[in-house]
């Protein structure tokens, strides 16, 4: 039987929703599911992890050198407790992408990146070429499976469980060659792009940082998160962390509204799992309309104010 | 200080890749091949460090068949001093690539290894992190800013929540994100000059790399297509449609 260890993602106070999505992937693999929580002062986070359905136990390691999520320290800690586990999973967020390959290398295996479907305990489906192809990958029997879970492909597991929390001493020692300096968190009060039920995104056609305010206003009216195409980010209309697509965030909101975005394949790959895609673009031939559920060919500077007034 | 930069030959960014009918792979026949875009950013950063007087030599390294010499020559034309091809006909996965790079590191003793954060073909995003682990050195992934301070570096990383800054001691491995810099264009005289720059070929077997094949890639399928949607005529219809579907 599989024995699965998930490395939890959190900000010190709250568990990131990606962890509950990893649990859903682990359930599809089948077997006993443990969650490891690393950090300093993480009792609340450990309790949230323990509440996720189908979790066998939470292993909480409270240590000063694990307070910042430095891959070098977290990977060493994960490896120190990896014995006996058939699968080590983390989310394919920037945290998991940084961390899990380091764990995989220490375990002497290649990683299965961006698991979107589980065919069996040793067989997985994942996207390549910006989602232009889906491949089945098999892992060798007996070798530890280290994988990242493509969060947009999985629903978060429910939270009504009550697993035990095992408090443990750190099994690793700190690496002195890597030091955490600081973090600048953007976004503010708006819903997090990766877990928002609604997302409004703006593209190059917004034409300026000032005009991008229109996107924020509409998003606020809808209680939506805000995204952007690479073109809008590169042009400096909005911060980098809003970029949706192959090299940005892969998201799966119930409603995605793309405004002034042409729909390059690299962008589309980031929204394929959205429930309903709405596209508003002046150019009725724009490729975004090929994948939109509802399209409106029109000038965004006219449509956005109309939308706002109709939404009341 | 020497800087090693990884170069991968990939299907060009602008090509719309198609899955072969038999599911054995994607069609690369006659398709334009280029340097992985993130690797160009990695190389640009290395060149800027050298031009600022903080490195003496920039070496581009690629793993693959002789066709990857084309991409190494592009790297030399951009300004790298020399190139190393690790020759193999096998398609290597990240762990084996990291092992091969480690062998080159042992020979060259670089102060920095700069790689792209992911290759746009298999989208794995593993090699830099694995190399740092095997080398037992710091990793700074998804870098959008790099400041060298003697034997250490401050690296600003693009993370989901915003930006994170870490300080790392050299030698170290850095993987670069889109916003680190804008790579220079190659000029024709540079292409001519690049032909005379050294390009060493070392066979993978001679390096003594153990190829790790724990992950095997099987059937390829095209992604499912979304059903064709509808076009509405105006904003009022759009709002009505969203209401009908219970979305607002």
CATH code, domain with A129: 3.40.50.620
Q: Residue holding tokens 């024995």?
A: A3
Cα–Cα distance between A289 and B140 in angstroms, integer?
38
Structural domain contains residue A110 = yes
**Domain at B2-244: CATH code:** 3.40.50.620
Is the ipTM of this structure higher than 0.85?
A: yes
Distance (Å) from the alpha carbon of A87 to chain B's nearest alpha carbon: 13
For residue B171, cis peptide bond before it (omega within 30 degrees of 0): yes
pLDDT digits (tens, 9 = 90+) for B42-81: 999 999 999 999 999 999 999 999 999 999 999 999 999 9
pLDDT digits (tens, 9 = 90+) for B136-185: 999 999 999 999 999 999 999 999 989 999 999 999 999 999 999 999 99
Whether A107 and A212 map to the same domain: the answer is: no
Structural domain contains residue A53 = yes
C-alpha distances in angstroms, A154 versus A44, A158, A226, A292? Answer: 24, 12, 21, 22
Residue B194's φ and ψ, nearest 5 degrees, are -65, -25
pLDDT digits (tens, 9 = 90+) for A54-113: 999 999 999 999 999 999 999 999 999 999 999 999 999 999 999 999 999 999 999 999
CATH code, domain with A228: 3.40.50.1220
Residue length, chain B?
248
Whether A157 and A225 map to the same domain: the answer is: no
Structural domain contains residue A261 = yes
CB contact under 8 A, B123 and A114: yes
Indicate if the pLDDT at residue A187 is higher than 70.
Answer: no
Whether A38 and A143 map to the same domain: the answer is: yes
pLDDT digits (tens, 9 = 90+) for A18-45: 999 999 999 999 999 999 999 999 999 9
Task: For residue A189, name the pLDDT band (cuts at 50, 70, 90).
Answer: confident
What pLDDT, on a 0 to 100 scale, did the predictor assign at position B140? 98
Residues 71-110 of A with CB under 8 A from B: 71-72, 75, 93-95, 97-102, 104-106, 108-110
Residue of chain A whose Cα is closest to the Cα of B117: A247
B122 at A interface, C-beta within 8 A: yes
pLDDT digits (tens, 9 = 90+) for B87-107: 999 999 999 999 999 999 999
Listed residue (A247, A248, A280, A241) closest to A263, CA to CA: A280
Contacts (Cβ under 8 Å, ≥6 apart) of B180: B41, B44, B45, B143, B144, B145, B146
Cα–Cα distance between A185 and A12 in angstroms, integer?
14
Q: Which of A73, A94, A244 to mutate to test the interface with B (most CBs of B within 10 A)?
A: A94
Residue of chain A whose Cα is closest to the Cα of B23: A135
Whether A122 and A206 map to the same domain: the answer is: no
Domain boundaries, chain B: 2-244
User: Exposure string (b/e) for B176-193, b if CB count within 10 Å is 16 or more?
Assistant: bbbbbbebeebeeeeeee
Mean pLDDT across chain A: 96
CB contact under 8 A, B234 and A298: yes
Task: For residue B227, name the pLDDT band (cuts at 50, 70, 90).
Answer: confident
Whether A164 and A203 map to the same domain: the answer is: no
Stated pTM of the model: 0.94
Measure CB to CB from residue B162 to each of A108, A136, A186 and give the nearest one.
Answer: A186
Cα–Cα distance between A86 and A83 in angstroms, integer?
9
High-pLDDT (> 70) share of chain A, %: 99
Chosen domain end from A121, A148, A168: A168
Q: Residue holding tokens 């292993």?
A: A59
Cα–Cα distance between B210 and B195 in angstroms, integer?
32
Residue of chain A whose Cα is closest to the Cα of B243: A311
Structural domain contains residue A131 = yes
Structural domain contains residue A96 = yes
Structural domain contains residue A216 = yes
Cα–Cα distance between A125 and A128 in angstroms, integer?
10
Residues 99-118 of B with CB under 8 A from A: 117-118
Whether A255 and A154 map to the same domain: the answer is: no
Measure CB to CB from residue A240 to each of B13, B17, B158 and give the nearest one.
Answer: B158
Listed residue (A60, A68, A73) closest to A34, CA to CA: A60
Structural domain count of chain A: 2
Beta-carbon pairs below 8 A across chains A and B: 261
Chosen domain end from A128, A150, A168: A168
Q: Which of A133, A193, A273 to mutate to test the interface with B (most CBs of B within 10 A)?
A: A133
Whether A116 and A259 map to the same domain: the answer is: no
A136 at B interface, C-beta within 8 A: yes
What pLDDT, on a 0 to 100 scale, did the predictor assign at position A247? 87
What pLDDT, on a 0 to 100 scale, did the predictor assign at position A161? 85
Residue A208 structural domain: 198-310
Whether A117 and A21 map to the same domain: the answer is: yes
CB contact under 8 A, B216 and A112: no
- Reduced to 3 states (helix: H, G, I; strand: E, B; else coil), residue B38 is helix
Chain B residues touching A176 at Cβ < 8 A:
169
Residue of chain A whose Cα is closest to the Cα of B20: A133
């Amino acid at each position: 039987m599989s024995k699965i260890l998930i490395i939890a993602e959190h900000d010190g106070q709250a568990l990131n929703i990606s962890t509950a999505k990893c649990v859903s992937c682990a359930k599809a693999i089948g077997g006993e599911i443990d969650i490891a929580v690393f950090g300093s002062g993480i009792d609340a986070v450990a309790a949230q992890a323990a509440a996720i359905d189908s979790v066998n136990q939470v292993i909480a390691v409270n240590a000063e050198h694990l307070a910042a999520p430095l891959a070098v320290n977290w990977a060493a800690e994960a490896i120190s407790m990896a014995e006996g586990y058939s699968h080590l999973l983390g989310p394919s967020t920037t945290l998991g992408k940084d961390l899990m390959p380091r764990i995989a290398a220490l375990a002497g295996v290649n990683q299965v990146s961006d698991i979107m479907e589980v065919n069996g305990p040793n067989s997985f489906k994942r996207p390549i070429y910006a989602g232009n192809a889906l491949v089945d990958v098999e892992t060798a029997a007996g070798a530890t499976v280290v994988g990242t879970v493509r969060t947009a492909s999985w629903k978060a597991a429910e939270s009504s469980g009550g697993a035990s929390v095992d408090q443990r001493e750190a099994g690793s020692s700190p690496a002195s060659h890597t030091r955490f300096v600081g973090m600048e968190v953007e976004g503010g009060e708006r819903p997090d792009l990766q877990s928002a039920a609604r997302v409004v995104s703006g593209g190059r056609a917004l034409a300026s940082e000032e005009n991008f305010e229109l996107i924020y206003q509409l998003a606020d009216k809808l209680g939506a998160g805000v995204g952007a195409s690479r073109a809008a980010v590169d042009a400096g209309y909005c911060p980098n962390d809003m970029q949706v697509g192959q090299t940005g965030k892969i998201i799966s909101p119930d409603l995605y509204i793309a405004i002034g975005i042409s729909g390059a394949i690299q962008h589309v790959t980031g929204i394929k799992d959205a429930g309903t895609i709405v596209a508003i673009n002046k150019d009725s031939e724009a490729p975004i309309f090929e994948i939109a559920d509802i399209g409106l060919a029109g000038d965004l500077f006219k449509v956005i104010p109309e939308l706002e007034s109709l939404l009341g | 200080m020497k800087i090693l930069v990884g170069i991968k030959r990939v299907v060009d960014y602008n090509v719309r890749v198609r899955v072969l009918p038999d599911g054995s792979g994607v069609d690369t026949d006659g398709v334009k091949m280029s340097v992985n875009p993130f690797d160009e950013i990695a190389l640009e950063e290395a060149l800027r460090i050298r031009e600022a007087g903080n490195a003496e030599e920039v070496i581009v390294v690629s793993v693959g068949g002789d066709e990857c010499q084309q991409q190494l020559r592009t790297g030399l034309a951009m300004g790298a001093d020399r190139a190393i091809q690790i020759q193999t006909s096998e398609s290597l996965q990240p762990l084996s690539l990291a092992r091969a790079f480690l062998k080159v590191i042992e020979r060259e003793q670089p102060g920095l290894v700069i790689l792209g954060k992911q290759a746009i073909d298999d989208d794995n995003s593993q090699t830099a992190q694995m190399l740092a682990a095997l080398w037992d050195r710091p990793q700074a992934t998804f870098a959008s800013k790099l400041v060298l301070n003697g034997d250490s570096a401050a690296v600003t990383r693009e993370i989901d929540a915003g930006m994170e800054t870490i300080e790392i001691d050299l030698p170290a491995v850095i993987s670069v994100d889109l916003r680190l810099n804008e790579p220079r264009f190659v000029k024709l005289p540079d292409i001519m000059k690049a032909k005379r720059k050294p390009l060493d070929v070392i066979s993978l077997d001679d390096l003594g790399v153990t190829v790790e094949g724990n992950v095997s890639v099987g059937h390829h399928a095209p992604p499912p297509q979304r059903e064709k949607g509808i076009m509405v005529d105006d904003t009022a219809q759009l709002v009505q449609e969203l209401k009908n579907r219970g979305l607002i």
